């Protein structure tokens, strides 16, 4: 197989990044974007490595019965990098994601007999995202690059996010250039409280925020608050550390099951409000009979406050000071007095709490970032032998890696529950339930 060869391939599998997987005549794996399992295709080889190759889809010879075309697919699919599966029927997406979870636990954790429950999907898997981040206010980056793809529609963003972007696109703003580090507008961020109707607009600007913010305040935007964020760093990090409110309160609210959450500009909140309630309900259902709980990586107190009425006490730990302040405010706002929140790294503070009061804590909630838990934290959990762990992850691979460590330390994996938090993409949210043997 050589570069620029044209070959016929049978696609037998799918990668989470949206690439179909076939086998060349030499047995080498060939990855083809937008090809689906069961299809016969013609492809042009673009890159050849020792054990695999990348190619470009030229023609579909035999389409998959799960392939979607025309009106069922966003006009920008295949150009912008936001979605991987717009062309894949939703039931097939769910089946694929469930398989990814099973394979991760079998391959990485060596756990082949755990109960992986049917994935919980959405009735309407479109326009679910309550947060949008538009580079230069224009669109999204293409796949694996920083080439900007201007867009005028999006199948997964909340419609208000698109309304805001279109207004900004019509303004004559100086746009940031990543090569010269010049230009004003780096990013446009829009956050929506889907159950409150509140909307926050954040303009990330390349410069110092001065007194004259008229280009932003004069815009007729469908929002309740506008925040400017300074970011002059020569990096790909979206937000800087300084926020200045120029309209409204500088935050929005969301509501779930009667719990009202204040969300600050830089604070984390799940991007799919409907599925967040599904996820939180799962935690609540499985935290019964718990008394004292640690909620690591607690954010603005989303889970802790949601399940506080099921337990005696919850201690939340979060590294973001702003998120901790939100969590404390949210507890007071909802009249919840059996929670406390500490600012710090979970890998440092959880071992300290378990060392002091391990016998008093019977449940640990983990919801770490994509990289999973630090080894020091997992070691402390194993040493403490805490009775129950509810581990939420947005990456089945790192979850499986950590599950293997917990299993080797004496924990039983009782079940795994995938939740489709990110339809049309390869991302998967998973809740897993462990107990000490």
> Where exactly are the structural domains of the chain?
6-67, 95-123+272-436, 131-255
Rounded distance, CA 437 to CA 435, Å? 6
pLDDT tens digits for the chain (437 residues)?
A: 899 999 999 999 998 888 999 999 888 999 999 999 999 999 999 999 989 999 999 999 999 999 998 877 888 988 888 899 999 999 999 999 999 999 999 999 999 888 999 999 999 999 999 999 999 999 999 887 888 999 989 999 999 999 999 999 988 889 999 999 999 999 999 999 999 999 999 999 998 766 666 678 778 899 999 999 999 999 989 999 999 999 999 999 999 999 999 999 999 999 999 999 999 999 999 998 899 999 999 999 999 999 999 999 999 999 999 999 999 999 999 999 999 999 999 999 999 998 876 568 999 999 999 999 999 999 999 999 999 999 999 999 999 999 999 999 999 999 999 999 999 999 999 999 999 97
Closest alpha carbon to 259 in 250, 249, 269? 269
CATH of segment(s) 6-67: 2.40.50.140
Give the pLDDT confidence score for residue 212 in this predicted structure: 63
CATH tag, 95-123+272-436: 3.40.50.150
Q: What is the pLDDT of residue 358?
A: 57
**131-255 architecture in CATH?**
Beta Barrel (2.40)
Q: Per the structure block, which two tokens stand in for 161?
A: 């996010």
Let me know if the fold of 6-67 is the same as that of 131-255. yes
Q: What is the pLDDT of residue 34?
A: 92
Catalytic residue numbers? Answer: 394
Dihedral sign of CA atoms 23, 29, 32, 37 in order: positive
CB of 219 within 8 A of CB of 188? no
Q: Quote the pLDDT of residue 42.
A: 97
Q: What's the pLDDT at 357?
A: 64
Instruction: From 182, 173, 253, 184, select the one nearest 218 (Cα to Cα).
Output: 173
d(CA 239, CA 233): 10
Q: What is the dihedral of CA 362, 367, 371, 376, to 10 degrees?
A: -20
Which phi and psi (to 5°) does residue 302 adopt?
Answer: -55, -60
Q: Which of these, 193, 100, 86, 81, lies nearest to 140 by C-alpha position?
A: 81
Radius of gyration of the chain (CA): 23
């Amino acid at each position: 197989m050589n570069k620029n060869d044209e070959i016929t391939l049978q696609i037998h599998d799918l990668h989470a990044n949206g690439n179909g997987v076939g086998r060349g005549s030499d047995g080498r794996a060939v990855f083809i974007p937008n090809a689906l399992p069961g299809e016969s295709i013609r492809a042009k080889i673009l890159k050849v490595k020792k054990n695999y190759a990348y190619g470009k889809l030229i023609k579909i010879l035999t389409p998959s019965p799960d392939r979607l075309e025309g009106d069922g697919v966003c006009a920008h699919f295949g150009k912008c990098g936001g979605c991987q599966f717009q062309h894949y029927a939703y039931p097939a997406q769910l089946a694929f994601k469930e398989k990814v979870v099973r394979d991760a636990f079998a391959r990485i954790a060596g756990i082949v007999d755990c109960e992986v429950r049917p994935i919980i999907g959405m009735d309407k898997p479109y326009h679910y995202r309550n947060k949008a981040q538009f580079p230069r206010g224009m669109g999204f980056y293409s796949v694996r690059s920083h080439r900007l793809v201007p867009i005028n529609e999006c199948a997964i963003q909340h419609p208000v996010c698109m309304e805001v972007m279109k207004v900004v696109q019509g303004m004559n703003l100086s746009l940031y250039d990543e090569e010269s580090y010049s230009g004003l507008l780096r990013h446009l961020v829009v956050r929506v409280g889907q159950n409150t109707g509140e909307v926050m607009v954040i303009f990330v600007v390349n410069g110092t925020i001065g007194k004259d913010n008229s280009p932003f305040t004069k815009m007729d935007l469908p929002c309740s608050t506008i925040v400017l964020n300074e970011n002059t760093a020569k990096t790909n990090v979206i937000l800087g550390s300084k926020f200045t409110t120029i309209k409204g309160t500088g935050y929005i609210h969301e509501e779930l099951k009667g719990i009202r959450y204040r969300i600050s500009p830089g604070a984390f909140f799940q991007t799919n409000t409907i599925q967040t309630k599904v996820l939180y309900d799962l935690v609540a259902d499985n935290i019964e009979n718990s008394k004292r709980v640690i909620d690591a990586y607690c954010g603005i107190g989303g889970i802790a406050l949601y399940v506080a009425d099921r337990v005696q006490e919850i201690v939340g730990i979060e590294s973001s000071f702003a998120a901790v302040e939100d969590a404390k405010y949210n507890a007071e706002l909802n009249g919840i007095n059996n929670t406390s929140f500490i600012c710090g790294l979970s890998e440092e503070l959880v071992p300290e709490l378990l060392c002091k009061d391990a016998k008093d804590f019977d449940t640990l909630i983990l919801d770490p970032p994509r990289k999973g838990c630090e080894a020091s934290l997992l070691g402390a959990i194993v040493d403490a032998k805490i009775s129950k762990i509810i581990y939420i992850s947005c990456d089945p691979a790192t979850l499986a890696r950590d599950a293997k460590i917990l299993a080797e330390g004496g924990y039983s994996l009782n079940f795994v529950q995938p939740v489709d938090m990110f339809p049309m993409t390869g991302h998967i949210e998973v809740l897993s339930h462990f107990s000490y043997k």
